[in-house]
């Protein structure tokens, strides 16, 4: 799948379109096929290294905190959602600027 990721903090030039594996949902998580993503002010703060909750230890990471789409898979223990549910969410730091088909 394609994702906009950063390997270091900095300006817009640190964002790179990269090829990554489609993630498997962990227990308590769901995999969402994104149809829409938002640009949140926190995204540029993360990119610039101005968001204290995200440190260099967590790089590289995919930017994007706001997402809307369809659930493709559910992780173990997920009972409130099922494949095909339409959802929107605000994610933690690693995220929504990604697509796959």
Task: Give me the domains of the chain, ranges plus CATH numbers.
Answer: 2-99 (3.90.180.10)
**Tens digits of residue pLDDT in 19-58:** 999 989 999 999 999 999 998 899 999 999 999 999 999 9
* pTM for this entry: 0.84
Q: Encode the chain in three state secondary structure.
A: CEEEEECCCCCHHHCEEEECCCCCCCCCCEEEEEEEEECCHHHHHHHHCCCCCCCHHHCCEECCCEEEEEEEEECCCCCCCCCCCEEEEECCCCCCCEECC
Least confident interval from 42-46, 59-63, 83-87, 89-93: 89-93
């Amino acid at each position: 799948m394609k994702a906009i990721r950063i390997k270091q903090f900095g300006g817009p030039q640190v964002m790179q379109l990269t090829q990554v594996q489609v993630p498997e949902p962990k227990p308590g998580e769901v995999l969402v096929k994104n149809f829409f993503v938002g640009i949140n002010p926190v995204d540029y703060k993360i990119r610039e290294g101005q968001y204290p909750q995200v440190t260099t230890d967590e790089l590289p990471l995919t930017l994007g905190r706001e997402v809307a789409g369809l659930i493709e898979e559910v992780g173990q223990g997920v009972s409130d959602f099922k494949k095909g549910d339409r959802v929107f969410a605000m994610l933690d730091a690693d995220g929504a600027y990604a697509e796959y088909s």
